[in-house]
Amino acid sequence: MITLQNVTKHYRKKAVYEKCSLEIPTAGMTLFIGQNGIGKSTLLKMIAGIEKPDAGTILYDGVQWSANERKKRIGYVPQEIALWEHMTVDENLAFFKGLLKETIDDELIAYYLKKLSIEQERKTVVKKLSGGTQRKVNLIIGLLAKPTILILDEPTVGIDLKSRTEIQHVLHELSATCTVLLTTHLLDEIEAFTDNIVLIGEDTFYRDMLEEKNIAYTKL
């Protein structure tokens, strides 16, 4: 269980979270949904340890993790592409592997490249790849450290249906052994990943939509 206890986060005068508490199961996949600007990315960044809450505590299976533990155990895949664009896919993978102490082995990397249909692109420089392919490489980078928690901020934004399906399959598979947390604005993803949905904010559109589709959710 990932537990948020009385978490408060402000940006200048804007209160994004005010004494918020939430329990997120570590089994399976959790989707965070809600309108633009409501605080989904902020929440994921706080769980990943990239942003610090102003007050409150985040516990991982009942304990607080040090910055080092979070770095070791949490894979974070940002919304924006975080790759070296003048380097090839293989060079990027080697570079990011080099920053880590323990990583997944090359066979597993080859497995993900194949599952995501990008094994032909290994020698291509990133700037020549489509946005969708870059996003897939971004995802594999997030998996390199063998995370026990994988956090993805809109992992399938702006990519075609086939690629989205491939990413969804990989995430489903991963969620059997790893906690997967992600944000999405896509209805088909909300319907496909109904393990655990957290609705952020008060907008009734989302609540009505989930209730109409009979999808259970937790409110934050």
Q: Which stretch binds ligand ATP (CB under 6 A): 8-16, 115-123, 133-141, 155-163?
A: 8-16
Residues 21-60 that bind ligand ATP (CB under 6 A): 34, 36-42
Q: Tokens at residue 153, please?
A: 């901020």
Shortest CB 113 distance to ligand ATP, Å: 28
Q: Per rule CB under 6 A, is residue 205 in the interface with ligand ATP?
A: no
Of the two residues 16 and 48, which places its CB atom closer to ligand ATP in the complex?
Answer: 16
Minimum CB separation of residue 160 from ligand ATP in Å reads 21
The Cα 100–Cα 87 span in angstroms is 19
CA–CA distances in Å: residue 17 to residues 52, 153, 200: 12, 18, 10
Comparing CB distances to ligand ATP, the nearer of 16 and 89 is: 16
Q: Which is nearer to ligand ATP, 88 or 156 (CB)?
A: 156
Distance CA 19, CA 160 (A): 39
Q: Cα(191)–Cα(216) distance, rounded to whole angstroms?
A: 11
* DSSP code, position 85: T
Q: By the 8 A CB rule, do 54 and 8 touch?
A: yes
Using CB under 6 A, list all residues that contact ligand ATP: 11, 14, 16, 34, 36-42
